Structure 1
Amino acid sequence: MELRHLEYFVAVAEELNFARAAARLKMTQPPLSQQILQLERELGVQLFQRTKRKVELTAAGEVFLREARDVLARVDHAAEQARRADRGEIGELSIGFVGSATYDILPVVVREYRRRYPHVHLSLTEMATPVQVEALARRDIDVGVLRPPVAGAIESVTIHAAHCVLAIPKGHPLAQAPSISVQDTACVPHILIARKTWAGLHDEIVSLCNRSGFTPHIVQEAFEFQTVLGLVAAGIGIAFVPPSAQNLHARDVVYRTVAGPAPMAAMAIAWRTTDASALVRNFVDIASAWEQL
């Protein structure tokens, strides 16, 4: 039995006329009659009572009609679900993200993605950039919102880049300075984001200080910017942080732009090179345009 046999049967059952059913199916009547006879022989039951005046369903035909309609409806539903999955409208998407992505980018992107694709289930897990790279390789996550650069069989696109600002304890002399350069921080204790969390920024800060003629006096490192800023608020030292970090501590921390060269903070979206799924593509497209959302 093939699906077309069910379609033929339903057409005849609904029209109760072989000629009209054949026209509906865009075929001639004799082949349609033969297909219905073949179906009845295969089932071993008579589905229609036929006379010269009319065609009627038998009791077996009534039952078979209900089941055939259900089967065809489920096939149509399965086909539509497959098409929706191919368009990335349903499914599951696992996303890794660095904590600092929640300051600005991630809420905007996730909100817009859920608006456009409400039937995709999102699973979000906070993890540092190196952990995301490993998770992508293991297929534990599908997309990473992380700090570039990344290596391996991973594609990435930078979606935002900006110069860091200087976070200074309120009341510190630098907070009142008319202009601050990297050289002005030479004799000030530094608090750095841990290299394990963001190797690129950690190394860039150290390198920039070295090019400015001094080795930064690092008194503390922290794994999260919330902790970095908490230590700044406590008066432990100053820190170079992404501009988005200004949304965290405003009461006891002063943020100042840096005159001249400053470390660059970038955010990127990453995914496996071999992953061409619409789920990933749709997320990347939305994230790439997040500043226009």
Structure 2
Amino acid sequence: MNIQHLKMLKILDRCQSISKAATCLYLSQSALTRQLLMIEKELGFSLFYRLHDGVKATPSGRYFIDQLEDVLDRYDRAVAGARQRSVTLPAQLRIGIYSYLIHVVPQVCMAAQRQFQGVSFDYVVCRLPETNQALTQNKIDIQLLADCSEPLSSNLDCIPLFHCPNCCKIPQGHPFYGKEKLRLSDLSHKQVLTLPPDRTQNAARLDQILRSPELDIEVIYFETPEQAEAISLARKIPIMTLALPSEKDCFSVTQLEELSAIKLGMIFRQNDREELKPLLDYFQNYFMRHPNDFLPMRFLTADL
């Protein structure tokens, strides 16, 4: 059993489903099942009950998995510290972020700061197609939580982190406030707030879907998250968004059933991969093991 197997168990416990965990880990279901059987054989006890609608930790599995957090934390600290001593990171790293992730990315970098104390993080707000251009022109070093669904320039590379569902942020007072799931047809003949299609690949895909004549949805574009929230609260209009936390409890986040999740990850210059490897590995492990820091609701994290 290796450390990746331990991380796999944490993800399977979080997803409570072989198929959902396999998607999150970029494995086939058969490969994940084989690895789980191998681990259980090595340990000598069953970690999960196999249920008709998923998996659930056995009492022995619950105890074992709960102990893994400290083990994995110590491992990550040891690896990060050792790599810092073997590879010199730049004293300043410029992290590209999208405006709607302005509350998420600094939180992740603050956690990284404890491991990489000699590095300072600067944040640069980018729009697409500015992201690839900013990387190519050496204006940023990493674009964090970028849409990795589209092909990249030959000089860039991407490490996927997780799948993030498309959702609606519903203002308090709206009839749909507090609902866990909606269909697009529920929004027919209504207004929604969304990013302009030139802002991200996901925004362009959403715009095309929302403008379908069959739906008859009135689309209103917003420029900043603050503007969107102000309009939403004043006029009781849902905001099209990703399943990321809201800073205000006057919004609920509702999953849209027909829209596929998008693949978010880190984009960086290929030539910088070795130099940035300690930090890239840290971010990858952080997002794998701390999903509730940025996908706060159980029903959304379970659907990854």
Query: Aligned pair count?
Result: 204
1:272 aligns with 2:269: yes
2:192–2:239 contact (8 Å) kept in structure 1: yes
CA distance in 2, matches of 1:286, 1:86: 15
The one of 280, 288, 291 aligned to 2:284: 288
Query: Does the CA-based 8 Å contact 2:96-2:131 persist in structure 1?
Result: yes
Q: Within 5 Å, which residues of 2 pair with 1:60-71?
A: none
Q: Deviations over 1:17-76 (max 9, x none)?
A: xxxxxxxxxxxxxxxxxxxxxxxxxxxxxxxxxxxxxxxxxxxxxxxxxxxxxxxxxxxx
Contact 1:209 1:216 in 2 (8 A): yes
- Structure 1 gaps of 5+ residues are 1-82
- Determine whether 1:88 maps to 2:85: no
CA distance in 2, matches of 1:179, 1:138: 42
Shift of 1:150: 5.6
Deviating above 6 A after TM superposition, structure 1's stretches of 4 or more consecutive aligned residues are: none
CA contact (8 A) 1:168 1:239 kept: yes
CA distance in 2, matches of 1:177, 1:237: 15
Paired residues of 2:180 and 2:253 also in contact (CA < 8 A): no
Identity fraction in percent: 11
Q: How much has 1:191 moved relative to structure 2?
A: 1.0
Quote the residue 1:221 is aligned against: 221
Name the larger-Rg structure: 1
- Do the aligned residues in 2 keep the contact of 1:114 with 1:120 (CA within 8 Å)? yes
Is there any run of 5+ residues in structure 2 with no aligned partner, and where?
1-82, 291-304
Q: Return the alpha-carbon distance in structure 1 between the equivalents of residues 100 and 235 of structure 2.
A: 22
- CA-based RMSD of the aligned residues comes to 2.9
Does the 8 Å contact 1:168/1:255 carry over to 2?
yes
Aligned pair 1:205/2:201, yes or no?
no
Q: Which letter does structure 2 place at the counterpart of 1:285?
A: D
Alpha-carbon contact 2:92-2:121 (below 8 Å) kept? yes
Using the size of structure 1 for normalisation, the TM-score is 0.60
1:193 aligns with 2:192: no
TM-score (norm 2): 0.58
3-state secondary structure, aligned to 1:270? strand
Q: Deviations over 1:191-223 (max 9, x none)?
A: 11122322x2222223444679324311x2112
Pair 1:236–1:89, CA change in 2 (3 A) = same
Question: Offset of 1:183 from its aligned partner?
Answer: 0.8
- Deviations 1:146-189, CA, capped at 9 Å, x for gaps: 43136212111221222122222322233377862111111111
Question: Is the alpha carbon distance of 1:238 and 1:143 closer, same or farther for their aligned partners in structure 2, counting shifts above 3 Å?
Answer: same
Equivalence for 2:120:
121
The one-letter code sitting in structure 2 at the alignment partner of 1:195 is P
Contact kept in structure 2, 1:206 and 1:215, CA below 8 Å: no
